[in-house]
Chains A and B, each alone.
Chain A
Amino acid sequence: MRRLKLFSFILMAGCLTVCNTFSWSQDISVPLRFDRYYNYDELVQAMKVLNKAFPDLTSLDLVGHSEEDREIWAMTINNPKTGDPLTKPGVYVDGNIHGNEIQAGEVALYFMNEMLTKYGKNEKITRLLDKNAYYIIPSVNVDGRYHFFEDPNTPSTNRGLRRPKDDDRDGLFDEDYPDDLDGDGNICQMRIRDPFGTQKTDPEDPRLMIPVKPGETGEWTILGSEGIDNDGDGRINEDSEGYVDGNRNWGFNWAPPYVQSGSGYYPFSGDGIRAIRDYIMERPNIIMVFAFHNTGGMYLRGPSVKSQGEFQRGDIAVYDYLGENAEKIVPGYRYLIGWKDLYATYGDFGDFMDHIVGAYTFVGELFMSSQETYREEDAGAGDPDGGGFFGESNTRSRERLKFNDHVAMGELYVPWKPYKHPVYGDIEIGGWVKMSSRLPHPFMLQDLVHRNAAVVMFSAEQTPEVKMEVFEKTRIGKDLFRVRVRLSNDKAMPTITYHSVREKVYPMDMLTVSGSSATVVSGGKITNRYTDQVSYKEDKPEVQFCQVPGFGMIEYQFLVSGKGQIKIHFESRKAGKVEQTIDL
């Protein structure tokens, strides 16, 4: 009897601790649930479960291994009946390049779950799946994801890659991590009673502190994050993992660590990052990219540094169209420019994808803590600050604490509790738990994942679709014909980005005319159809290099001599191919 009681107690205790982290290991099956978070192993399991349930539409690709030898998985979603992946525009979604920014994984899973479970049932989703090739890597920083769930953390720790670096320049590497002194699975704050302290208890909510006014007696000094001085250098928690930021380690406009913290010793020093790069470079059809992060509620585009200069106008038009719609699909999220509205970044993933792969990249900063409100409807915006770069105001903190108390049942915040610290003596530990502040409580997760997946779908709809029309064929001489071709595209994205054309990143799309008994005498782009203005290509007129614009068209004229059949063929790295055969 006692043994049974003990056993049930252990079981329950186990459940409770696990429950506290909002991810309990129930069966993972299709359709996936989104009232919970998926740790690393569960995420991989979820992908495998989706792949098993939809074997014809998906394939699981092992991209590579992380620093701690964990597997990085990608899923390709493609309908083979509408063609091989490389013959279609590629839509790429990833997330969680920062280990603590976990809900990106759930967004990616949700997107896959929606596309696959509704295929064949929902007309729009069916068309979307048939149209593009999708490559999804829900978790880029798999070591980070694993350790964020497994180890005690703040909402912001465990961001970097597991690459040793001597951050505090003391000859030791990664020797002073935060420590979970009270064993509650969270790294919170430490404070100590101090009449000379700069903080005093907030009269409105004793869990908060406010700055002391000059002349007032203090009450508290904030000691920092929970921890001890592991390396005896007088500082606490100053050298944890890395610091190498996966999103500063990419090879476009990379800058060394003294210019920008976290870039790694040289571009692509990260093992997992390198593997993902190689995976992407083998898929040059990728034209639309989403990289999900937290937090703040934004859809960011480049440029990443001011000195790069603004993007090409034609490309900005695409971003504006997609961004402005994103703001409506996820109300409250803002469409912004990286360097201007946030801060300069060197060597980031988005810049690499835009400049080297020739894609359109959005960084989605998921979740706004300003949605954790405690007020009536129509009570006004209150304090708009939802967690800026340097923290939130006390007004907002008080409100969020009420949200925590009455809406989240106290699950987001640990009240101050006494603790005996080996160095400081009697202190108190308390604060926001790791599963708070930068990500939604699970009851709000469903809304977040759906809306952001919808942004991906909206953009996926706008990948280029080229139609070819041979709108004129006239005999103008003995065995000499004038053939006019129109290539039109009623989607927002051009078949090759304006940046790629300007910098000659890769060969432009090609329009070719060939025939076994025919020769192309001259050819060129029609600049004015009505007055017969054609800008002729001097050499090899049978191969024309072109770009079909978004929401637009281009027209070409060929003078062909000969007889029989000619094949007019358009081929694009990102927009597949289309061809027609006509008789002369």
Chain B
Amino acid sequence: MKRFFPKCALIAMTFGIMWGLAWSQDQAMTLTYDAYMTPDGLNQALKSLNSRFSNTTKLHRLAVTPGKRELVLLEIGPEVGRQDKSLPAILVVGNMDGDVPLSSMATLYLADFLLQTEGQATDKTWYILPCGNPDALQRYFSRPLYRDTRNGKPRNDDMDDRVDEDGYNDLDGNGMITQMRVKDPEGTMIAHGGDPRIMRKADPLKDEKGIYKIYSEGLDDDGDGKYNEDGPGGISAGINFPHLFEPFKPSTGLWPGCTDESFQLMKFAFEHPEIAMTVSFGATNFCMVPPKGGRRSGVDMDKIKVPENMATMINADPEQTYSMKEIMDMVQPMLPPGMEVTESMIASFLGLGAVVNPLQEDLEIYNDLAEKYKEYLKDKGMKDDRLDPSSARDGSFELWSYYQLGVHTFSMDFWTLPEIKDEKKEKSGITIEKLETMTSDEFVALGEEKISAFLKEVGAPDQYKAASVIQMVQSGTVAPKQMAQMMKQMPKPKDDSGGDPKTKALLAFNDQILDGKGFIDWTPFHHPTLGDVEIGGEVAYANNTPPAEVMDSLFSIQVPWGTEISKKLPKITILKTNATSQGAGIYEVEVWIENPSYLPFPTAMGKRNQQPAPAILTIDNDDITILSGKKRTPIQDLAGFETKKFTWMIQSDRNTTLEIQLTSVNAWGDQKQIKIGG
């Protein structure tokens, strides 16, 4: 009982779940989730799932990292035997940044959950990759411990004469890399008043002068005056994707897909057009917080300005703005016959550039689903009192998936530090100066609440409660003026403003739950070149990787939301058909196509980038002649719960059956037969 209780308390305290609810597990999973797994361990776990469920799973070896680790993807579904799929698929990528061990475990949990739960993977395929950046993940299990999203590719980061020659050094031998603070005349950092463990920038506007320089723990191994500027590795595979990719930044790599973790994943995605949705498990959470907009972009598609040198070519006025359609209409007659103008052609001719902010219709869906998700979490007893998830970074997988793959893109994080509740401090309105002029009656009239707030503001020691102070004044033991003078002598209260809220949250978590294991107190050390320093700081991963005991409950509540969303995938189906005789063997054939699901086919972005494959409606019969309408009609888009009608006029001499085929690689499709005549 004694051992049992603290564990529950940990869970409960960490995120306020009613622990009874959290403790009830609906099903037994194949694997256990009581420890974080190494990249090797994850691959072994996938292998064991594959051998246990050999009929419905298949292993794919996607890539090998520079550090010689394998990216293994598990396929789950009824079509593992075939290359060309007829059912849509969902691609789940875990831990693409490599520094979120929790997300790799969550991805594994999802695979396990799908295999254990009835009906989850019978009408679609799941492609599940627990770790997109195994070289980086391995660091969680290495010592000294430090957090780094780069893979194992050697890179001359400081552009000197050697490669990977100056990494971190564990000077104090405690098995982890933290920071060093050194007193330096050019230092800009000071210890934070509220909690001197926190280092922050000195604010000259508050008369603060900097004292310290902060370095990462280590030596200047190559004697170039810089510390730890060229450690082992590498390329951050998680930001090596083409959307908003930035070359020439420290670890993005020279071009998108220059490392196999990202290249093979993109190749896989495009070789599998049945993928209708991606979900990434990591540090962002599109299920809760939609992707951010507000980027400065190229262009408003309704107000395009044609550059001068091109305006004359197409008879446009360089001073005026045009809509995309207007420009298309201007250009069409100038093209050689048979050549059709497209939006893409104009966009590239005018150099309009890419979409960089989420489209409005997609945002509406993200926002609506976020509301639904919050309800879902509340129902499961999970409170929303943790720090916000991260925003998607430029060059990340999830942004690439939304903007370039053009499919429904979701992401989830599973744990951040509990938020520190800032008790709203009502300003008392009293100052020491005012107090000096008050009478005892005026003071007592202020009331206990205001006096209590005032006492806190001036930093009165805790034992001076408002009630007792009021009594002292009422009884005449002390007059307000005397109190004011005493207070002037007291040391000023510690100013708690400033300082990184994330660090404060970590320290609170460290003090209350981690028992000091999340933060190393600043400890003196004699450094060979910097002299007297202090080593200390946040322990790597403490702010995103909770103790393993809470994994199970975190996952059992949050992971199934992914499957909830998967049920909303768009379907393209034949709602109704009709054939009406017009006489003389001529029939009007009507087919209604509908999408009976919540999510549209495709996303607004998918419509814009024309990437997802259209569905094809064919009317097939060798004996008939089509008088109006086409044999093959592509269906480019269908909104959620939308119906579209298609009509043909056909001629048939005899009674026959029309095959109506609705083929779709990514939205199921359908087929029906229509009897003609008879």
The answer to whether A390 touches B313, judged by C-beta atoms less than 8 angstroms apart, is yes
- List B contacts of A269 (CB < 8 A): 267, 270
- A505-B248, A507-B156 are known contacts. Are A256 and B632 too (CB-CB below 8 A)? no
Are B161 and A543 in contact (CB-based, < 8 A)?
yes
With contacts A255-B353, A266-B270, A344-B351 taken as known, whether A232 is within 8 angstroms of B611 at the C-beta atoms is no
Residue of B nearest to A256 (CB): B404
**Which of chain B's residues have a CB closer than 8 A to the CB of A257?**
344, 609-611
Would you call A398 an interface residue if the criterion is a C-beta within 8 Å of the partner chain's C-beta atoms?
Answer: no
Q: Smallest CB-CB separation from A307: which chain B residue? A: B353
Structural contact, B608 and A170, CB atoms closer than 8 A? no
Interface residues on A, range: 35 or more
CB distance from B451 to the nearest CB of A (A): 59
With A251-B256, A506-B159 known to touch, is A266 a contact of B266 (CB < 8 Å)? yes
Question: Which residues of chain B are within 8 angstroms of A507 by Cβ–Cβ distance?
Answer: 156, 159-161
Between-chain CB contacts (< 8 Å), 29 pairs: A170-B614, A170-B616, A171-B632, A224-B338, A233-B630, A250-B255, A251-B256, A252-B255, A254-B242, A254-B245, A254-B256, A255-B354, A256-B354, A256-B403, A258-B347, A260-B344, A266-B242, A267-B256, A269-B270, A306-B351, A344-B348, A344-B350, A352-B255, A390-B335, A507-B161, A539-B223, A539-B224, A539-B225, A543-B161
Q: Say if the beta carbon of B334 comes within 8 Å of chain A.
A: yes
Name the distance in Å between A545's Cβ and chain B's nearest Cβ.
Answer: 8
A237 and B338 alpha carbons, distance in the complex (Å):
8
Most chain A CB within 10 A, of B343, B353, B631, is at B353
Residues of chain A contacted by B4 (CB below 8 angstroms): none
A224 touches B337 (CB 8 A): yes
Name B248's contact: one of A171, A268, A503, A510 (CB within 8 Å): A503
Listed in ascending order, the chain B residues whose CB lies under 8 Å from chain A are: 156, 159-161, 222-225, 242, 245, 247-248, 254-258, 263, 266-267, 270, 309-310, 313, 334-340, 342-345, 347-354, 403-404, 608-611, 613-616, 630-632, 634, 636, 663
- In the complex, the answer to whether A260 meets B632 with C-beta atoms within 8 Å is no
- Alpha-carbon distance between A166 and B270 when the two chains are bound, in angstroms: 13
* B257 and A251 contacting across the interface, CB-CB below 8 Å: yes
B609, chain A: closest CB distance, angstroms: 4
Q: Is A339 an interface residue (CB 8 A)?
A: yes
Complex interface: chain B residues within 8 A of A225 (CB):
338
* CB-defined contacts of A232 to chain B, threshold 8 Å: 630-632
Cα A261 to Cα B631 with chains together (Å):
28
Chain B residues contacting A504 (CB-CB under 8 Å) are 159, 248
User: Contact at A543–B337, with CB atoms within 8 Å?
Assistant: no
Chain B residues near A234 (CB, 8 Å)?
630
Q: Is the CB of B338 within 8 A of A339?
A: no
Flag if B632 contacts A261 (CB, 8 Å).
Answer: no
What is the bound-complex CA distance between A389 and B309, given in angstroms? 12
The reply to whether A540 and B344 form a contact with Cβ atoms under 8 Å apart is no
Q: Is the CB of B257 within 8 A of A258?
A: no
**Contact status A266-B256, CB under 8 Å:** yes
Rounded to whole angstroms, the CA-CA distance of A170 and B633 in the bound complex is 7
- Asked if A451 is an interface residue, CB under 8 A from chain B, the answer is no
Q: Cβ of A170: which chain B residues have Cβ within 8 Å of it?
A: 614, 616, 632, 634
Closest-CB distance, B631 to chain A (whole angstroms): 6
Chain A's nearest CB lies how many Å from the CB of B473?
64
Other A-B contacts than A224-B339, A238-B338, 18 sampled, CB-CB below 8 A, are A169-B636, A170-B634, A171-B615, A171-B616, A232-B631, A232-B632, A252-B247, A256-B403, A256-B609, A256-B611, A257-B609, A257-B611, A261-B348, A266-B404, A267-B256, A268-B263, A339-B351, A389-B313
Contact partners of B636 in chain A: CB under 8 A: 169
Closest 8 CB pairs of A and B: A224-B338, A251-B255, A344-B351, A260-B348, A539-B225, A171-B616, A258-B609, A266-B266
Min C-beta distance of B669 to chain A, whole Å: 11
Give a binary string over A506-522; 1 marks a CB under 8 Å from any B CB, 0 the rest: 11101000000000000
Report A524-537 CB contacts with B as 1/0, cut-off 8 Å: 00000000000000
Kindly list chain A residues whose C-beta atoms are within 8 Å of the C-beta of B257: 251, 266-268
Q: How far is the CA of A171 from the CA of B352 in the complex (A)?
A: 27
Say yes or no for A486: interface residue by CB 8 A criterion.
no
CB of A272 to closest CB in B, whole Å: 16
Nearest CB of chain A from residue B356's CB, rounded to whole Å: 11
A540 touches B349 (CB 8 A): no
Question: Provided the pairs A265-B270, A307-B353, A391-B336 are in contact, do residues A169 and B159 lie with their beta carbons within 8 angstroms?
Answer: no
How far in angstroms is the closest Cβ of chain A from B630? 6
A265 pairs with B266, CB closer than 8 A: yes
